[in-house]
A and B are shown apart, each in its own frame.
Chain A
Amino acid sequence: MITTTHRVWKYGADVNTDVIFPGKYTYTIDSDPAELARHALEDLDPGFASAVSPGDVIVAGSNWGNGSSREQAVTCLQAAGVHAVIASSFARIYFRNAINSGLLVIECPAIVEAVDSGDTIELDLEAAAIHFAGRTYLFPKLPDQVRAIVEAGGIIAYLKQQT
């Protein structure tokens, strides 16, 4: 059993991509990780970008990432060192973008109820389980075809493997 340990940043339901990564930057900030990380969650939690540490996870309510299809709403979190987003549910395009960029996304409503900002959780991907405060929370595994993309590190890395 391999578990990893992560500090939690907790947010509510229906967090949209405009507050995760503002639209005004979408055509000028794209690939520079430092710039992406600087604006992560800018209009949701202005303190996040300067205080987040590599390996931290975001835990949020339902419909995380609704709104625009901009991929920076995923890549800005990766640039900031976020290990995974755990939510009650995800907006459709965000879910696809995360998989296709290799960001771990986990649907687990029960853990969302249980944790708060600053808590520490343990993640066991093999068992599809999260451990917190003596309890275990299971989450559904992705379909095989889709998991292959995440495991490759995203759809581009996956295609490179295929060629």
Chain B
Amino acid sequence: MQTLTEKLLARASQRDHVKPGDIVVVAPDVVLSHDNTVAIAAIFRQLPQEKVRFPERLAITLDHAVPPPTPAHARNHARIREFVREQGIKNFFEVGRGICHQVLCEEGIVGPGMTLLGADSHSPHYGWLGAFSAGIGRSEVAALWATGQLWLRVPETISITLAGALRTGVTAKDLTLSLIGKLSSAGANYMAVEFDGAGLAGLSSDSRAVLTNMMAEMGAKNACMAPDAVTWHWLRETLRRTRPHDHEERLEFFRDHALHPDPEARHAARHTVDLREIEPMVSCPHRVDNALPLSALGQTAVDVGFIGTCTNGRLEDIAAAADVLRGRRLRKRLLVIPASSLVLRDAAETGYISDLIEAGATIGTPGCGPCMGVHMGALAPGEICISSANRNFRGRMGQPEAEIYLSSPAVVAASCLAGKLTHPADLLDESQARG
């Protein structure tokens, strides 16, 4: 009897069975790096071998500082292109294609039953497709390039069963902030988190990615869920667009590879969450687990908003912001950065981008944007930002004297309209009161 995580790790380590605490040597299907590839290559060059052992397993995106904000960043990108050529790496995605985690899902590089290790802390992301994926460090990635293998400890699993449905105006982001607030930023440290239940079946593909992505902020090694009809629908529709020549074969490969947890698998802890009870939530400075209901925050002024990132930069998120902003005029600056070029294209074709621009928002190049303070929206001392990203640590957006609040994209949009932390439902009230 094994959890989904245990089954995935058993496969990746070519074993019949694994249990929590086992140290296993896994051979991941995909090894991810991004703008940090040059730094990893410098470590790799300390080893005697010149060539990456399995170049077909590497996936590299340029996303963390795109387009390059300084000549130093541009040189970094140029060196990555050189490395990609020299090593014959096919899965390379240029500036503007989008954030690694979104792009690798869209391109069908990772799917059900597969394993990814990535030099990025939000690597648990891919679990929404039924994959095992975890973040590792740069030296470990260099070791993986050389050998194709790495040691992992099989984690204990926390089970989170979702019941009911989210109320209107409440999102998967609110669910994750509520969970992290309750269980703390170390609540799943060294552990796996697995989602299931009737409430999960009702969540969209875009929302599911928020769940697994944000479990990084609870310390989780990985987070995952078994693929279902929603997963297969998303894969079918997306791969048809990104892989016109082999989407059917790829889908069949994923179907053959998909794994499901045993119903009687053992968990270290079990939680049941009634989605009807989740409220709109905000994480206050300077910790993600400093999460409070928006209704408890009163009058909190904001200077600037940011919608984007691997956590909340998908079409559903941009649609939510456009629905709030349509026909209105922003009082505060709002930066919107789609998670990928595919998201940007869909958001343009559906008219959401026009809605945002007419309201006064700024649209950025698909990528990580100002999430980690490199560029394109760094904060000034004393500024207060409301953001749909995943971290609000001191200095995260480049300035230790700034404050970052985290919320769903709709709350970011409403707050930039009102100039203070605001739920979209309260904007309606205001206009009715005026009318």
Stretch at the interface among A64-72, A108-116, A120-128, A132-140: A64-72
Q: Is B190 at the interface (CB under 8 A from chain A)?
A: yes
Q: Is the beta-carbon distance between A69 and B186 smaller than 8 angstroms?
A: no
- What bracket does the count of chain B residues touching chain A fall in? 35 or more
* Nearest B residue to A64, CB-CB: B186
A19 proximity list for chain B (CB < 8 A): 393-395
B42 touches A67 (CB 8 A): no
B121: nearest residue on chain A (CB-CB)? A69
Q: Tell whether A66 pairs with B47 under 8 Å between CB atoms, given A27-B76, A91-B219.
A: no
Count of interface residues, chain A, beta-carbon cutoff 8 Å: 39
| Contact indicator B42/A155 (Cβ below 8 Å) | no
How would you classify the secondary structure of chain B's contact residues: helix, strand, loop or mixed?
loop
A78 CB within 8 Å of chain B: no
Distance A47 CA – B219 CA, assembled complex (angstroms): 29
Cβ contact within 8 Å between A63 and B185: yes
Contact stretch, chosen from A1-9, A52-60, A93-101: A93-101
The listed residue (A28, A31, A68) touching B121 by CB distance below 8 A is A68
A23 at the interface (CB under 8 A from B): yes
Indicate if the CB atoms of A155 and B189 lie closer than 8 Å: no
Is A43 an interface residue when CB atoms closer than 8 A count as contact? Answer: yes
Inter-subunit contact B394/A96 (CB<8 Å): no
B→A interface (CB under 8 Å): 23, 35-36, 38-39, 42-43, 46-49, 64-65, 70, 72-73, 76, 119-121, 123, 135-140, 142-143, 146-147, 151, 185-186, 189-190, 219, 221, 287, 372-374, 378, 391, 393-396, 398, 400
Given contacts A26-B372, A27-B64, A93-B121, 7 further A-B contacts (CB under 8 A): A16-B393, A68-B121, A69-B123, A71-B137, A97-B138, A101-B137, A156-B43
List, sorted by A's number, 13 A–B pairs whose CB atoms are closer than 8 Å: A18-B391, A18-B393, A23-B398, A27-B65, A28-B72, A67-B391, A69-B136, A71-B137, A71-B139, A93-B137, A100-B137, A143-B23, A163-B48
